[in-house]
Structure 1
């Protein structure tokens, strides 16, 4: 089960996210609100809310802030009504880009996303124009040197679809979104801690960018990241 390494790209992405950590609370709060609104405020019965709360705790968000936003979403407090909108487009060199947003004003959001693409040399596409190039799945990535056998044993027994070893030794686990929690618990029970664990849109194929093209693509991602309404960005570039 060999495969191309995602390690460098993941480390690059995490570094960029750490530099923008001030936005994380805003994004997590929106995720909590939408998850609680759509699936109820009981985290034990709402997997999406559990994942949002886990993100909030990882970002050191106080428990009362988490509770206040759950209450806001479930009608116990007045709050803003966010809707989820996905945009698809192309970046530099034909790179496919998916932008997930949460907004209280879709007219503002689409204008900002379109401007970000055009400003950085990309193009906003239509619904479905690039989504077929991605797989909606749970993803765990372990640092190079992690035992592939240990990961494989725990992951596959818990229902994972595949275990892929990258060229530099990083180990990646792929599962169905609905199996994410079961696989995560099994990996943790086996003493295995993933550097990255999320439900994501994983590109089926990647496009390598270097030099000026890589810089232009990173600029597009940075401009999109800076938009208040953007929650997640998925792309198939290797920068």
Structure 2
């Protein structure tokens, strides 16, 4: 009878995934500190990046080293932010945000992923107009559905643009400028989000099913695995995983 992967192999895979996630956090903290300074109190992007890293059990020492690297105290190679835009199977719009020290390598890897999975890389601006930069603060209220009214009241009072609820989750939407204010107001009331960040949110969703959905998911997974990729955004309405 066949056996699944050993505990050691599973642990190694989990460690590798954790290391990749931490690398993304470090790059985001470094770029945020470089762009807006090393003081989280005056740099909302840096504050959000640090909060996310600490929430995922990154040590404060690692965070501080990333901040110093961003402010020029820690040395290291120069890294720049770059965004690629394209279309995947089913006409799905895809944004790929990267941080890289070699754009020639990065664009070649991203283009290869698109071409192998039935998509194509477009020019700058070909896709981005279908997305808007939006603050998202998401709560899981499946065990406490009565919290929905409290979240709604506090969020709108704090300056949120909209509050959407579905299947036991509440999604608070804000402008990037109001994101920190709304998040702080909700957390001050003892409400802990499962996710809170500024994302590129699509204006409309495209329904994708069958083989197109499978190929699209393969493309998204491929892109997520690339070392230089920070975030992948798309406007697909994919079927729920079975």
Q: TM-score, normalised by structure 2?
A: 0.86
For structure 1, which segment, 114-123 or 55-64, has the greater mean C-alpha deviation from structure 2 after superposition? 55-64
Contact 1:177–1:199, Cα closer than 8 Å, also in 2: yes
Alignment of 1:80-99 (within 5 A): 80-99=77-96
C-alpha distance in structure 2 between counterparts of 1:91 and 1:175, whole Å: 28
Give per-residue Cα distances to partners, 1:143-167, cap 9 Å, x unaligned.
353533211110011110111233x
TM-fit CA distance, 1:20 = 3.9
Are 1:26 and 2:23 an aligned pair? yes
Task: Select the structure of larger CA radius of gyration.
Answer: 2
TM-fit CA distance, 1:195 = 2.6
User: 3-state DSSP class of the match of 2:124?
Assistant: coil
TM-fit CA distance, 1:19 = 9.6
What are the ranges of 5 or more consecutive residues in structure 2 without an aligned counterpart? 1-13
Sort the Cα spacing of 1:165 and 1:18 in 2 relative to 1 into closer, same or farther, 3 A: farther
Sort the Cα spacing of 1:160 and 1:209 in 2 relative to 1 into closer, same or farther, 3 A: same
Contact 1:24–1:59, Cα closer than 8 Å, also in 2: no
Structure-2 residue corresponding to 1:115: 112
Structure-2 residue corresponding to 1:163: 163
C-alpha distance in structure 1 between counterparts of 2:150 and 2:16, whole Å: 33
Contact 1:116–1:223, Cα closer than 8 Å, also in 2: yes
Q: TM-score, normalised by structure 1?
A: 0.87
Alignment of 1:216-227 (within 5 A): 216-227=215-226
Are 1:237 and 2:236 an aligned pair? yes
C-alpha distance in structure 2 between counterparts of 1:119 and 1:187, whole Å: 44
User: 3-state DSSP class of the match of 2:177?
Assistant: helix
